[in-house]
Structure 1
């Protein structure tokens, strides 16, 4: 058994509660929480205006964070990534982080009805 940390990530609809769950898990596990929304808002304030902007900036952020996350995991600290994992391509990014070194990982699928998601999106 390695002394690496565990990579935790999420899949689910927008507004399903993934970010809320990520905060809770990070707190419970004493893990480092990294939120894509926080990083993008801090690094590129006011520059993300549509989905294409998001894709462009997110793809610029991920190579840097990939190395950073791997270093934290190899140091033995669990990392909770509040990044979307809804598509195969998004999940492949997570897999690239954990698979090369045999790092343990957990994928949480957050289920919520459409009405709940829409209500929570309106509250943001």
Structure 2
């Protein structure tokens, strides 16, 4: 399956879902504290228990959730799958199948639109993160939707 969404906010609106953004959570709770990839890993791990409980609570109301979170590694995707299994919900992983050039253009645009992230959203960090990327495999049992919109692999969960 393939689709193109220029904006996850629009996807959430179209699905009448709640949008949760890792970037927004990190910026709200750890403003100015993420200066390196190691900082990102630390703070990203700290918000996961809160996100998990929030997703479960939202799904319990009957609403769907669009999660604007990276799923670049098998470990990250496993966290999402476990979250969905525990909540008893369906999921879709939106895989943005892009070249490095397309991703770097998106990062440059994001640096202009979100200058507070400019110190971390760099080409060097992109290459550091990309070194860990693992494409999804059939063994992971993911419901994959492929998109040509720029960004990271993202997740959506459905009641």
TM bucket normalised to smaller: 0.7 to 0.9
The alignment's TM-score, normalised by the length of structure 2, stands at 0.63
Deviates more, 1:97-106 or 1:85-94: 97-106
| Contact 2:59/2:87 (<8 A) preserved | no
The DSSP-based 3-state class of the residue aligned with 1:112 is coil
Structure 1 residue runs of 5 or longer lacking an equivalent are: 1-16
The DSSP-based 3-state class of the residue aligned with 2:93 is strand
Equivalent residue number for residue 23 of structure 2: 37
The DSSP-based 3-state class of the residue aligned with 1:81 is strand
1:103: Cα distance to partner? 0.7
Q: Distance in 1 between matches of 2:58 and 2:37?
A: 30
Structure 2 residue runs of 5 or longer lacking an equivalent are: 111-159
1:37: Cα distance to partner? 0.3
Q: Which has the higher contact order (CA 8 A, sep 6+)?
A: 1
The alignment's TM-score, normalised by the length of structure 1, stands at 0.79
Equivalent residue number for residue 69 of structure 2: 83
The DSSP-based 3-state class of the residue aligned with 2:42 is helix
Equivalent residue number for residue 12 of structure 2: 26
- The size of the alignment, in residue pairs, is 107
Q: Does 1:59 align with 2:38?
A: no
Q: Does 1:123 align with 2:109?
A: yes
1:53-110 CA-partner distances (Å, limit 9, x unpaired): 0000010000111011011112110000000011111111111211124211111111
